[in-house]
Amino acid sequence: MDLVLFDLDNTLLQGDSDFEWAQYLISLGVLDQEVYEARNQAFYDQYKDGSLDIHEFLDFQLAPLARHDRATLDDWHAGFMRSRVLPMIGRPARELVARHREDGALMAIVTATNSFVTGPIAREFGIAHLVATIPAQHDGRFTGEPRGLPAFKQGKISRVEAWLESLGLFPGSFDRSWFYSDSHNDLPLLEWVTTPVAVDPDASLEKTARSRGWPVISLRFEP
C-alpha cells in the first residue's frame, strides 16, 4: 500500500483557501476591508517568501472564528465553497486523486490552513483524512487560538507521524510514500517521503526539484 499526501493551497486548488476565506468574509462585510485586506495580502506575501510567522498569522486568521457562532460560520462556509472553492478545483486535480484512490493508497490532505476552512474541501475531493492546523474550541465555539502544533513546515512531519501512529502505522508500513506540493515551505515533508512531487512549484521549490531530479507536474486548468 502507498501513502499519498497532498498539499492543498496552490496544489490541489488553483488558489489559496486561507487567503480566499478572509477575502470572502471581507466581501460579506464581516471583516473591515481597510483593516483586513492589506494584512491578509501581507501575510500571504510572507508565506510565499518564506518569512511567515505562523503564530502571528494564526492570531489574525482564527480571530474571526471566535466572534461568531458555528451555525453562522457554517452558513458562510457553504457560500464560500460555492463561490470561491469549487471554481479553484479542476479536472487534473480530481483525476490525480482518483488515480491514487483506485490504486488503494492511504490518502490525506496535509495543510497549514485550519481544519474549519479545509474540512469541507477535503470531503469535496473524497479524501477521508485531513492533517491540518486545528482551531481550538470551547463549548462548541472557536476560541481564536490553535490547538496543538500548527501543520506548517517541520510541523507537518510531526502531525503526519502522529496521525499515522493513531492508525497503528508508521512510515515503514508503506511500499512508497508521496507528497505533492507547490511550496518551498514544504521541503521538510517533501524530503520525508520516498516520492516528492513538485506541483506548479514556486521558483525556489522548482530549482530544488530540478536539481534533485524530482518530478515536476502541473495541475493548472482553464477556469
Q: What is the DSSP string of 44-102?
A: HHHHHHT---HHHHHHHHHHHHHTS-HHHHHHHHHHHIIIIIGGGB-HHHHHHHHHHHH
Distance CA 144, CA 170 (A): 32
Please state, in angstroms and rounded to a whole number, the distance separating the CA atoms of residues 198 and 129: 21
7 catalytic per annotation: yes
- The amino acid present at 174, given as its one-letter code, is F
Look up the CATH number of the domain holding residue 168: 3.40.50.1000
Residue 223 maps to a domain: no
The answer to whether 184 and 50 are in contact (CB under 8 A) is yes
In a domain, 48, yes or no: yes
Residues contacting 40, CB < 8 A, separation 6+: 19, 22, 23, 26, 60
Clarify whether 182 is annotated catalytic: no
Confidence at 4, pLDDT banded by 50, 70, 90: very high
Locate 142 and state its grid cell. Answer: 472557536
Partners of residue 107 on adjacent β-strands: 4
Which one of the listed residues 2, 7, 16, 18 is annotated catalytic?
A: 7
- Owning domain of residue 128: 2-217
Q: What are phi and psi of 220, to 5 degrees?
A: -70, 155
Residue with cell 530549482: 207
Question: How far is the C-alpha of 147 from the C-alpha of 25, rounded, in Å?
Answer: 23
pLDDT at 223: 74
Would residue 222 count as lying in a domain?
Answer: no
Q: What is the rounded average pLDDT for all residues in the chain?
A: 95
pLDDT, average across residues 154-172: 97
In a domain, residue 211? The reply is: yes
Domain presence at residue 176: yes
- 94-125 tens-digit pLDDT: 999 999 999 999 999 999 999 999 999 999 99
Structural domains of the chain, count: 1
What was the pLDDT predicted at 192? 98
Rounded to two decimals, what is the model's pTM?
A: 0.95
Please check whether residue 166 lies inside any domain of the structure: yes
Which one is catalytic: 2, 9, 45, 59?
9
